[in-house]
Structure 1
Amino acid sequence: MKEIKAIVEAYKQIDFQVKKAALATVVRVEGSSYRRTGARMLVTDAGEWIGGISGGCLEGDALKRARLAMAQQKATIVTYDTTDDDPYQIGVGLGCNGIIDVLLSPLDANNTENPVRVLEDIIEKRLPSILLTVTESQHPGLVLGQVFRYDNEDSFKAKFPDKSLALEVITAIDEVLSLTKSKSYSFELATGERVTIFVEVLVPATHLLVYGGNYDIYPMVKIAKEVGWKVSVVCNPLKVHKSLFELADAVIAKENGHQVAIDVFTVALLMAHDYETDFGNLRYFIDTPIPYIGMLGPKKRTDKMFTKLNEEGRFFSEQELQRIATPVGLDIGANTPEEIAISIVAEIRAFFAKRDGGRLRLRKKPIYE
Structure 2
Amino acid sequence: MMDDSGAILREALSWARKGRKVALATVVSTWGSSPRAAGSRLAVDEDGHMIGSVSGGCVEGEVLANAEDVMRTGRPALLEFGVSDGTAWSLGLACGGRIEILVEKFRDRPEFNQIVEQLDRGEETAALVALDSGERRLVEGDTQFDEASQSLVAAALARGVETALDGPAGKFFLEFWRPPLSLIIVGAVHIAQALAPIAAAAGYRVALVDPRPAFATPQRFPGVALHTEWPEDFFARIRPDSRCAMVALTHEPRIDDAALIAVLRSPAFYIGALGSRGSAEKRRERLRAKGCSEAELARIHGPVGLCIGAASPPEIAIAIAAEMTAVLRQAQAQSLGSAAE
In the alignment, what sits opposite 1:112? 110
Name 1:213's counterpart in structure 2. 188
Aligned residue identity for 1:176: A
Give the corresponding residue for 1:187: 167
Instruction: Work out which of the residue numbers 324, 331, 334 in structure 2 matches 1:355.
Output: 331
Give distance in 2, aligned partners of 1:263 and 1:75: 36
CA shift in 2, pair 1:6/1:170, >3 Å: same
User: Displacement, 1:100?
Assistant: 2.7
- For 2:94 and 2:76, how far apart are their aligned partners in 1? 28
1:13 & 1:182 partners in 2: Cα distance?
A: 25
Q: Which has the greater radius of gyration?
A: 1
Is contact 2:6-2:177 (8 Å) kept? no
Q: Is the contact between residue 294 and residue 325 of structure 1 (CA under 8 Å) also seen in structure 2?
A: yes
Question: Which of 138, 151, 159 is the equivalent residue of 1:171?
Answer: 151
Distance 1:55 1:243 in 2: 33
Relative to structure 1, the CA distance from residue 104 to residue 350 in structure 2 (aligned partners, 3 Å threshold; closer, same or farther) is same
Given that 2:182 and 2:244 are in contact with CA atoms closer than 8 Å, whether structure 1 keeps it comes out as yes
1:64 maps onto 2:53 in alignment:
no
Counterpart of 1:175, as a letter, is: A
Letter in 1 for 2:156: V
Q: Distance in 1 between matches of 2:41 and 2:243?
A: 23
Give the alignment's TM-score, normalised by structure 1: 0.78
Q: String of CA shifts for 1:143-172, please: whole Å, max 9, x gaps.
A: x1111222322xx34xxxxxx53x544433
Task: Trace 1:126-275 onto structure 2 (pairs within 5 A).
Answer: 126-136=122-132, 144-153=133-142, 156-157=143-144, 164-165=145-146, 167-188=147-168, 194-236=169-211, 238-239=213-214, 240-243=216-219, 247-249=223-225, 251=227, 253-254=229-230, 255-259=232-236, 260-275=238-253
- For each residue in 1:40-67, what CA deviation from the matched residue of structure 2 results, as whole angstroms up to 9, or x when unmatched? 1112222332222222221111111110
Could you tell me how far apart the structure 2 residues matched to 1:313 and 1:256 are? 18
Q: Describe the shift of the 1:295–1:57 C-alpha distance in structure 2 as closer, same or farther (beyond 3 A).
A: same
Match of 2:339 in 1: none
Question: Contact 1:346–1:357 at 8 Å: present in 2 too?
Answer: no
SS of aligned partner of 2:88: coil
RMSD after superposition? 2.9
Equivalent residues of 1:237, 1:251 under 8 A apart = no
Which stretches in structure 1 are left out of the alignment for 5+ residues?
137-143, 158-163, 189-193, 359-369
CA distance, structure 2, for counterparts of residue 237 and residue 183 of structure 1: 46
- Report deviation, 1:126: 3.6
CA drift at 1:331: 1.9
Consecutive unaligned residues in structure 2, runs of 5 or more: 335-341
Q: Counterpart of 2:46 in structure 1: which amino acid?
A: D
2:140 partner amino acid:
D
CA distance in 2, matches of 1:302, 1:112: 50
Report the TM-score when normalising by structure 2.
0.83
- Over 3 Å counting, the alpha-carbon distance change for 1:105 and 1:181 in structure 2 is same
Percent identity for Structure 1 against Structure 2: 26
CA gap 1:33/1:2 in 2 versus in 1, 3 angstroms: closer
Residue matched to 1:328: 304
Report the AA paired with residue 166 of structure 2.
S
AA at the equivalent of 2:315:
E
SS of the equivalent of 1:334 reads: coil
* Contact 2:239–2:266 (CA under 8 A) maintained in structure 1: no
Counterpart secondary structure, 2:58: coil
> Shift in Å at residue 24 of structure 1?
1.0
Partner SS, residue 57 of structure 1: coil
Asked whether the equivalents of residues 176 and 200 of structure 1 are also in contact (C-alpha less than 8 Å), the reply is no
